[in-house]
A and B are shown apart, each in its own frame.
Chain A
Amino acid sequence: MSFDTPDDRRYLDSHEWAAEDGDVVRIGISDFAQDELGDVVFVEFPDVGDSISAGESFGVVESIKAVSDLYAPISGEVVEVNEALLDRPELVNDDPYDEGWMLAVEPSDEGELEELLDADAYREQVE
């Protein structure tokens, strides 16, 4: 089985991705992660205005079979959460890199993004 791992973003070894989008960094989980979890039924995120710290849990994603913590790839202030996932958590399965994004964060340390795995390194880990 092969997984989609786009080159335009960075990855955490716990399977979250972070992608620059103008002034903010969007965060979500990888195709590999959504496949491991199976049908996502519930997400729990911080509120807009909350701070998240690189490497620390910022929320949870629940599938029918399991609950899993979400870890922050970078530190910063949450400026937007993907409200669509509250009603349609299955978007995480259907489109993990686009419609299934989770948070938009204003990074407090631009350098953190560079320290994450690039697509090749992450691909090596999951294949």
Chain B
Amino acid sequence: MTERTPPLHDEHRGADAEFTDFGGWSMPVEFAGIRAEHEAVRDAVGRFDVSHMSQLVVSGPDATELMDRLTTNDVASLEVGDAQYAAITDERGVMLDDTVVYRLPDRRAQPTYRFVPNAGHDEQMVERWQHHRDQWGLAAEVDDRTGEDAMLAIQGPEALDTMAEIGEDVSDLDRFEARWADVAGVECWVARTGYTGEDGVELICPAATVSTVWSAMDCQRCGLGARDTLRLEAGLLLSGEDFDAEDNPRTPYEADLDFIVDFGSEFVGLDALAEQAEEGVAERIVGFQLEERGVPRHGYTIETPDGEAIGEVTSGTMSPTLDEAIGLGYVPVDYVEPGTELRVVVRDDPKAATVRELPFLE
């Protein structure tokens, strides 16, 4: 399969980026080093190219119903300029992906949404949306903008200052609000959202103009490596790692995402999730930290202190901010209380671990 490349690929190469394959895209994994990039975002501001994220626009008389019936959250409650985190579930209530849904200004007087599934999910979601639209006889256009549009994230306590310096002040936006704004002379859809646990924005613009926006910024370039350590400290899940419809099928309740499930209107997976809400889950995701030296990694076994295998690590790293080895994994609900003692098997060597409250970093 040919790797897809973001429009800024050559510029990243020129900035000495190291690349990695992620969801079929060749993306920068680091520039100055994960620790330096991570610290820039925690202490000041950093910029990320996240143009590997899928971009779908749905518009039409029934766009709201289509969005509402294919995501777990309450799309009907969104006003123009609202953003909402949601899961896309199947009939079992299993998460196929997670996404942010933005309500754009109406087009041709029809409700219009953009949603952003993870890298490599664009084709799957276009088919899913079109299939259900036709099945339910709804009127809505589903437009795949992946590759046509680019997405950047500017994150950190000084992110809004950076935005003001190169374009306009967007501090009027609350968390999970968005609007069109001028950024370096380019009209961008700017949202006060992110994946780092810091203040900041994500912006979307046509691929042809993203270079102008990117090069106007004078702050640390960050790759997917720092994006991963930042999101993990913030207790945010990564689709494909912390849940995966095939390799590790999980519902929003197992993933501790109760807040994105809204039973107010019908959606695919509602019945299964309503049953789970009633009966509870057998396993749930927890955060943990190692009490001994080592680094937890995806796939490592989680045990009880007696050595009984009870789960697997889904994400882990050495937290640059906390200087602790931290991770996520699913365990039976008897083991989810903060303070519970566990063990994580690091290369055949069980290391003591303790369940921690999420997020790791307040």
Residues of A bordering B, CB below 8 Å: 1, 38-39, 41-42, 44, 60, 62-65, 67, 86
Contacts and interface: CB of A to CB of B under 8 A. Distances in A.
Interface of B: 16, 18, 29-30, 33-35, 225, 228-229, 293-295, 297, 317-318, 320, 325, 347
B16 A67 contact: no
A65 B293 contact: no
Given A64-B35, A65-B34, A65-B225, A42 B16 contact: no
A67 B295 contact: yes
B30 A38 contact: yes
Contacts of B297: 67
Contacts of B295: 41-42, 62, 67
A113 to B, nearest CB: 29
A64 B325 CA distance: 10
Given A39-B34, A62-B295, 4 more contacts: A38-B34, A41-B318, A42-B294, A64-B318
B29 A39 contact: no
Determine which residue in B29, B225, B318 has the highest number of CB atoms from chain A within 10 A of its CB, and name it.
B318
Contacts of B228: 65
Given A38-B30, A39-B34, A42-B295, A64 B16 contact: no
B33 A39 contact: yes
B293 A38 contact: no
Given A41-B318, A42-B295, A42-B318, A64 B229 contact: yes
Nearest to A43: B293
A41 B35 CA distance: 10
27 contacts: A38-B30, A38-B33, A38-B34, A38-B225, A39-B33, A39-B34, A39-B35, A39-B320, A41-B295, A42-B293, A42-B294, A42-B295, A44-B293, A60-B347, A62-B295, A62-B318, A64-B34, A64-B229, A64-B320, A65-B30, A65-B34, A65-B225, A65-B228, A67-B295, A67-B297, A67-B347, A86-B293
A86 B293 CA distance: 9
Nearest to B30: A38
Contacts of A65: 29-30, 34, 225, 228
Contacts of B318: 41-42, 62, 64
A60, A62, A86: which has the most chain B beta carbons within 10 Å? A62
B293 A64 contact: no
A63 B347 CA distance: 15
